[in-house]
Every structure is written in C-alpha cells, then in structure tokens.
C-alpha cells in the first residue's frame, strides 16, 4: 500500500468560454428577462403551494411583487454570480470547500476591521465564512444575536448595511462565500411588530401567538416539549403590557412567529431577498423544524414546514439563484432527508451534521467507534442529494443526543452514558483530560450539555497547566484526529475560529455580569491574535495546529473528494478504529482513524462486490489518522 498522493488530483473549476462569458454578461444586464424566465419555470408550483397553505391571492401577489422588486434591485456583480452558479449548481460540494464560523466582533471588532483580516482567512484557503448573527438586536438579552429586532439592518455595533455589502464583495473577490443566520422561528420582543402588538394592535398580535388566558397555551403545552426546561421553562410567557400570554419556546424575549399568517411569510421572504442583495450567499435557517405550530402536535417537523422551505427555495432560485440554504435541523437521521426535499423539488441544499459532531466526541471519550460508525452508515444511506457541513465545535453547546436504540442494542445504558460523557468533558471523570463546563444541567432528568473549545476538550489546556509535554503531544494528536476524521466524511468541513491555533477556553466570561449566566460563553472568547502570530514558528503549539489544518486541505484535494465520490464505512474488525473508504472512478483511498490511547491493528477485508479487490492490514499509533491508497 502506498501513502495517498493528496496534491495532484484537484478538480479544476470549470472556466466559461468567451461566448459563455458574453452570455453571462447579457443575462446579468437583463434582470427582468432573467427573473421572468426563472419565475415562469416555478410559477405554477409556487402558486399551488402558497394557495394550498393560505388561500390568499392578495398575499401571493404581494410576494411575487416583492420578488420582482428584489430581482430588479440585484447588483450587476451578483447577477453575474447567479448565472455562474446556475452553470455550476453543485459548487458548494467541491472538495476544495473549506469553511470557518466566527463571531465577527470577537474576531476583529466590526465588519470594517474584519475586512482587513481577509488575508488571514485567505491564507487558510477558506471558501466559506459563517458569521454569527449581526443583524440589529437588543442588548444585552439577545441570545447571542438570535433575538433579532430588525431583519433588514446590521446592528450598529458591527457597522452598517454598506459595510456588510463591502465585506461580501471583498470576500467574493477572494473566493469566500459569506453565510449568515436567518432566524425564521422568532423575533426579539423589541422588534417593531412585537412593540405594536404590545401597544394593542390586533394586526401585529396576529404576527405572533397571543392569548387572553391559559386555555390554548395549556393545549399546546400538553404536546409540545420544552426547549430549555431548566434555563427558560415553559412555552409561553405572560406579557403584562399586552395583557396576554405569548408563545416563547426558546426564551421569554424571543416571540415565536405565526406563519399561519401569510403576511409573516411575505415579510420574512422579503428580508431574505434583501440580505441576498447585500451579497449573502448562504443562509443558515435557524431552528427551522419549529416554524409551524399546530394544536395537538409537538410542533416539530410538520408538513407545513417543508412547504415553507420549498417556497423559500423557489423564491431564491427565481431572484438570486447563487444563494444556497443550510438548515439547522437537530433531529435524528430519519428526520433529515425530508429537509433536502427531492431532486425534483429540493428544499435545503445542505444541513449541519449535528449527529456526527456528537458521535465524534463520544467516540473520543470512549475509545469506541461503534456508535459513530452506525451513525455514519445511517447518514450515508440517505439519498445522494443529502449534503452536510461537518464540524466539531460551533457557537453552541454539545448536546448529547445519541441514538438511544443503537446504544441499547450495543448494551449501553443511554442515561448512564450521557452522564459519563458530560462529566468526562467537564473533567470530573478519573482519567479525563478535558476541561469544559456543563450547560443547561437538569437535575430532575439528569440531562446536560457540554461547553468548551476543541483544544480544551481534547486535553491541550490541562497539559499546558500541568506543564506536561507528553500529554500536550497526545492532546494535539487527539485534536487533529477529530479534525481529520470529520474532514474525511461526506460533506465539507467547517472549523470553529481559533481551532487553527488551538485557542483555549475563555474563563474570563465569569467576570462579566452580562455573560456569566451562559456557560456557552466559555468558547465564545476574543480571538487571540498574539497566539496567531506564532502560527508560522516551528515547534509552537499554534504551528502544529496550523500545519495540521493545511494537511486537511491537502487531503481533500484528492479526486476522491469530488461531489459524486462514493463514501462508505469499512469494517476494521476493531471497535477502536473507524475505517472510511472513498472511491472516484478507478481511484480508491481509505481513511483509518484510531480513537484509542493504545496502538491498534486492523484487518480490512476485500469486497469485490463494492469494487474493492484487495484488503488492507495496518498498525496504528495512539490517536493516529492515516490515509492510504488502494
């Protein structure tokens, strides 16, 4: 077996011919014609979906008028991008896709300063940048920006809409697509609609779920589980000024929107188009399974949710087809396929791979990949149109939502296992190397989630504190193992900003009265630019991680990371080792990932039925990740 050559197989991005460029320019400068042609293709389905849901012709006319207005206002450079992306609709599936998520204020301060840091992003060959919420929000109670009080304008703390448009243009010039969250489920209680509702305006009270007494709220509560039973109990809050109960599934200052009212849908679609015209190329749909409420149900994953997401996809394909949708769907794999729609009637282009993130951390703590492999197999069994953004850490916690049926099949007690995991990652289990904290601990149910940066959770912080160099080397191996395994899977990888320099936990959040109540702030700390300066200095921790991330990009330059490559797990006959196979044409590579602190041997059998003519034997060092060519 030879080590895989990971540098000579990068698929070339298709370049338009001179005639194609001329066609692009003509289309870009004929927005009305281009929009009319796209709308003509989708009009019947859009009308059917809208009228089935609302039976409101006036509201439908308002939506199509808003679409025409947004199409006419779309800048020329974005129209050209639309045409380019229509020619290359799977651009976001290419092997060179490499993402990062960050808080713009923690990274640089504001949008203008962030634009000056683009060379740092370019140095990492990023193609995708997800900025945490930056639309206008109340202060300090804004749930990290997920309580939005104006969907059309940037919060003054970050800059202006002009700053956002300038940033997106500079990012595009450097090959980076910007992703922003679009919070569909709720607004801040300080949104102008909510203020009008509180002032007694019945029209805007119908933008939310407002009730005079507990009769209807109690009917909902009989079926709807609580999102945060410990930190924000209940699904409704009493508003003294309005004299009504209002649905607030997440926090009392976040009012759930009533999508049964077509005016809400039209207004929210208009805001999405407005942001797209500022240059946003990807929208992360926050909490999308929750957006439709129906009495007598758990208000999760209802059919009307898919109708709305399908309509949003149609609107974008008509007005700004360069834009793609990324869904946040924290559900079991069996629930995920529906959010992609079908090849004929697609919904989201891609989803966050929450379940794999959780299973990677579980496998690392246990040194056992059986649950991880089962979850990978379940996701790989989904239709080929299902695509994922893979990650280890993000702005949120690690919620231990493992497959309890699979745990029981393997003889694992789900509750005991969950408790082991969250105590392990807070460093409270003998032998744990991790330094994290619990989030949303519920003593009654025994449930809790985990917080911390990748480096701190893999043992880097503890090794530094104890001045243990061998432990530090092992911690770095764990960190890179997780990143390499994550990057080998179906989809594309997204780093959490700071992972590339092993940024540690920000314990100083406990000194800030506005942040101390939310332990997720442990991994929401200011980017350490002084440490980043060490990234090119050989022998430093930062250099080891920086070079490790470069290795990820080199690995993914292989032809076996093409969008249509076949990806599957392979039985390593060893519960500590994850074996993954990628095949494209006549080329096959295998990724071997040892999640154990001990050396491991693997024996992989030949599988002629799958086109794998020869087996593979290998010896792996502790926490080693290896890619070989068959």
CA distance 588 to 567: 10
Confirm whether 69 is a catalytic residue.
no
Catalytic residue among 286, 317, 403, 477: 286
Confirm whether 328 is a catalytic residue.
yes
Q: Between the CA atoms of 387, 389, 390 and 391, what dihedral angle is there, to the nearest 10 degrees?
A: -170
- Which element (helix H / strand E) includes 177? strand 177-183
- Which element (helix H / strand E) includes 531? helix 529-532
Helices (H), 149-211: 161-173, 192-198, 202-205
Rg, the chain, Cα only:
24
Residue showing tokens 């492999």: 373
Instruction: Work out whether the CA dihedral 91, 165, 339, 485 comes out positive or negative.
Output: positive
- Bridge partners (DSSP) of residue 211 are 245
Q: Give the max Cα distance, the chain.
A: 73
The contacts of residue 483 (CB under 8 Å, 6+ apart) are 392, 454, 493, 495, 499, 548, 549, 552
The contacts of residue 155 (CB under 8 Å, 6+ apart) are 134, 135, 136, 137, 145
Strand ranges across the sheet with 210-211 = 210-211, 244-247, 236-239
Give the three-state DSSP class for 151.
strand
Can you say whether residue 55 is alpha, beta or left, with left for phi > 0 and alpha for psi between -120 and 50 degrees?
Answer: left
- Bridge partners (DSSP) of residue 607 are 612
Residue showing tokens 């019947």: 44
Tokens encoding 605: 């059998």
Catalytic residue among 110, 328, 437, 558: 328
Instruction: Work out whether the CA dihedral 299, 301, 307, 311 comes out positive or negative.
Output: positive
Encode 589-615: b = buried (16+ Cβ within 10 Å), e = exposed.
bbbbbbbbeeebebebeeeeeeebeee
Q: Phi, psi at residue 590, to the nearest 5°?
A: -125, 135
Q: Residue 116 burial by CB count (10 A; 0-12/13-18/19+): exposed, middle or buried?
A: exposed
Active-site annotation, residues: 286, 328
């Amino acid at each position: 077996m030879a080590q895989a050559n990971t540098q000579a197989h990068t698929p070339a991005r298709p370049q338009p011919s001179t005639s194609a460029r001329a066609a692009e320019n003509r289309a870009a400068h004929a927005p009305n014609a281009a929009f009319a042609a796209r709308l003509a293709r989708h009009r019947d389905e859009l009308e059917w979906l809208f009228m089935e849901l609302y039976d409101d012709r006036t509201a439908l006319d308002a939506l199509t008028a808003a679409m025409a207005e947004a199409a006419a206002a779309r800048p020329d450079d974005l129209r050209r991008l639309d045409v380019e992306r229509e020619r290359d609709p799977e651009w976001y599936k290419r092997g060179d896709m490499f993402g990062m998520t960050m808080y713009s204020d923690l990274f640089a301060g504001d949008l203008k300063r962030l634009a000056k840091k683009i060379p740092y992003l370019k140095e990492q060959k990023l193609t995708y940048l997800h900025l945490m919420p930056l639309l206008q929000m109340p202060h300090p109670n804004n749930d990290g920006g997920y309580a939005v009080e104006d969907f059309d304008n940037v919060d003054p703390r970050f800059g202006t809409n002009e700053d956002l448009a300038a940033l997106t243009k500079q990012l595009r010039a450097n090959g980076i697509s910007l992703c922003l969250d679009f919070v569909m489920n709720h607004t801040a209680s300080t949104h102008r609609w909510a203020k009008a509702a509180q002032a007694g305006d019945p029209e805007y009270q119908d933008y939310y779920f407002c009730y005079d007494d507990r009769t209807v709220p109690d009917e909902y509560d009989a079926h709807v589980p609580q999102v945060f039973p410990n930190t924000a109990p209940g699904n409704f809050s009493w508003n003294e000024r309005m004299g009504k109960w209002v649905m607030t599934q997440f926090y009392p200052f976040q009012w759930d929107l009533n999508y049964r009212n077509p005016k809400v849908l039209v207004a929210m679609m208009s805001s999405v188009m407005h942001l797209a015209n500022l240059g946003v190329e990807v929208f992360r749909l926050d909490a999308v399974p929750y957006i439709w409420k129906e009495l007598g149900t758990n208000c999760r994953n209802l059919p009307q949710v898919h109708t709305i997401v399908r309509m949003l996809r149609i609107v974008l394909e008509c007005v700004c087809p360069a834009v793609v949708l990324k869904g946040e769907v924290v559900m079991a794999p069996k629930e995920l396929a529906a959010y992609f729609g079908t090849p004929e009637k697609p919904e989201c282009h891609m989803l966050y791979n929450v379940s794999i993130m959780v299973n990677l951390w579980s496998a690392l703590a246990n040194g056992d990949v059986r649950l991880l492999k089962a979850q990978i197999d379940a996701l790989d069994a989904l239709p080929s149109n299902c695509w994922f953004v893979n990650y280890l850490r993000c702005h949120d916690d690690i919620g231990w939502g493992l497959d309890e049926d699979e745990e029981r099949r393997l003889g694992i007690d789900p509750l005991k296992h969950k408790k082991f995991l969250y105590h392990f990652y807070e460093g409270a289990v003998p032998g744990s190397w991790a330094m994290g904290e619990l989030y949303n601990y519920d003593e009654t149910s025994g449930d809790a989630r985990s917080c911390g940066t990748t480096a701190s959770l893999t043992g880097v912080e503890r090794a530094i504190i104890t001045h243990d160099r061998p432990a530090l080397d092992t911690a770095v191996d764990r960190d890179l193992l997780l990143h390499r395994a994550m990057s080998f899977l179906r989809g594309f990888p997204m780093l959490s900003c700071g992972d590339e320099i092993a940024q540690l936990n920000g314990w100083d959040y406990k000194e800030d009265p506005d942040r101390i109540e939310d332990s997720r702030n442990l991994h929401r700390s200011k980017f350490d630019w002084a440490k980043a300066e060490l990234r090119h200095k050989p022998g430093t921790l930062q250099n080891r991680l920086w070079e490790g991330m470069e290795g990820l990009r080199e690995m993914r330059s292989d032809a076996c990371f093409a969008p249509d490559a076949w990806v599957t797990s392979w039985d390593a006959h060893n519960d500590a080792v994850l074996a993954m196979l990628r095949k494209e044409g006549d080329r096959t590579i295998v990724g071997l990932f040892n999640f154990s602190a001990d050396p491991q041997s693997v024996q992989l059998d030949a599988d002629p039925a799958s086109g794998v003519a020869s087996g593979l034997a290998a010896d792996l060092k502790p926490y080693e990740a290896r890619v070989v060519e068959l």
